[in-house]
Amino acid sequence: MQALSRPFPGSGSYLVRTRPSSNRVGPNRIIVKCAYGFESPAFPLGVGSNRADWQSSCAILASKVTQEQSPTQKHDGSADHVAAVNGHKAAVTELVPIGNLGSSDNNKPLPPKPLTISDLAPAPMHGSQLRVAYQGVPGAYSEAAAGKAYPNCEAIPCDQFEVAFQAVELWISDRAVLPVENSLGGSIHRNYDLLLRHRLHIVGEVQLPVHHCLLALPGVRKEFLTRVISHPQALAQCENTLTKMGLKVAREAVDDTAGAAEFVATNNLRDTAAIASARAAELYGMQVLADGIQDDPSNVTRFVMLAREPIIPRTDRPFKTSIVFAHDKGMSVLFKVLSAFAFRNISLTKIESRPHRNRPIRLVDDANVGTAKHFEYMFYVDFEASMAEVRAQNALAEVQEFTSFLRVLGSYPMDMTPWSPSSCLRED
């Protein structure tokens, strides 16, 4: 591939440095020519007027070189077939064998054909070909949530929640799907703290019914078990059922449910069972000793979808907006903040308080009673309105008057998927 540098000051030409390619077609080597520059008569090899055209040409030409290695090539070294880009056929510029570079009358290589808009493949549809990060290993409930949020996506497992955030920030993945609350276990505080620490935006939510199973290696019977391992919340959600089953086992916590199943299978632990999903049993070759062992059938986990850029809020469907704020005057201001939503008939779906990390203690000096110490809090609020609505904009404008810090985490479509405890599908 040619390396291209910018022109020297006062010069209308580009400095081009070539490197021989290792791809061969017959006896000749193929050199790929691609350049980036503005339209200029002084630069006849330009293939576009902006960086996007240059990047597109590089991708298409690279695809061309790969296809030149197929056995169906012409014996004369020409390259006049059509390359496939993102599954679509697109015309590409011709590749000139090194041996033919001097065959023209002026001993100059032929300029590549400029790309047009028809050469570019359409952008992927919503949810297709996306890389989605989640915490856990294959078979985790977070993986099922990622598949529900973005069907046909490429799920990328991460060992920690913060790694999933970083995967999106570093462009390793396009989205992240992470849990924020469970109907039985409550809020997942770690992810609320990470939402404030990182600059990602909430672009959607998905609610996933949780269906726990008791898994063991094939041939193992329940009476031979001595311990059960799983995520701490999964163990708590199945505590009563395990007791009713008469299992005298020790409970041990691990990082995630699917990881517990993987651990039992990898180490061939025949005295240990895991609480995980039915999909985890299929992936790791385990048998289901008991199905649906959660104490409450209405066990649902809410996940949020995170992206580098926010989506455009709309008013043609139900939207939810998530914010976080702090104030300097203690809890007395909270009533004024909440009244900004009540006066505009905006329903709150969640309010969560977390200690202020940078300023955890607030001192109040009173000559009569002395000095008092109070915790400072950050408040996370979800309300049912889109930022495209005037009432939501006015409410936040009023909230900003009473707060020292206000940030919109995202305005996104609500998950309106119907479900009932009796008909919960095992999506895990």
Catalytic site positions: 301, 303
DSSP result, 225-261: --EEEE-HHHHHHTHHHHHHTT---EEEE-S-HHHHH
Q: Report the candidate in 417, 165, 425, 382 with the shortest Cα–Cα distance to residue 279.
A: 425
Q: What angle do CA 46, 47, 51 make, to 5 degrees?
A: 100
Which tokens sit at 146?
A: 């990622």
| Rounded Cα distance, 416 and 204, in Å | 11
Burial 226-246 (b: 16+ CB within 10 A, else e): eebbbbebbbebbeebbeeee
β-pairing, 370-375 vs 83-85, is: unpaired
Q: What residues contact residue 110 under an 8 Å CB cut-off, 6+ apart?
A: 94, 96, 104
Q: Write out the two tokens for 17.
A: 């440095």
**How many of the other CB atoms lie within 10 Å of CB of 304?**
28
Cα 100–101–105 angle (5° rounding)?
95
8 Å CB contact between 97 and 30: yes
Distances from the Cα of 17 to the Cαs of 1, 80, 386, in angstroms?
A: 9, 25, 53
Q: How far apart are CA 97 and CA 33, in angstroms?
A: 11
CA distance linking residue 317 with residue 314, whole number of Å: 7
State how far the Cα of 105 lies from the Cα of 28, in Å rounded to an integer: 20
Give me 329's structure tokens. Answer: 């005057």
Pairing outcome for strands 250-253 and 227-230: parallel
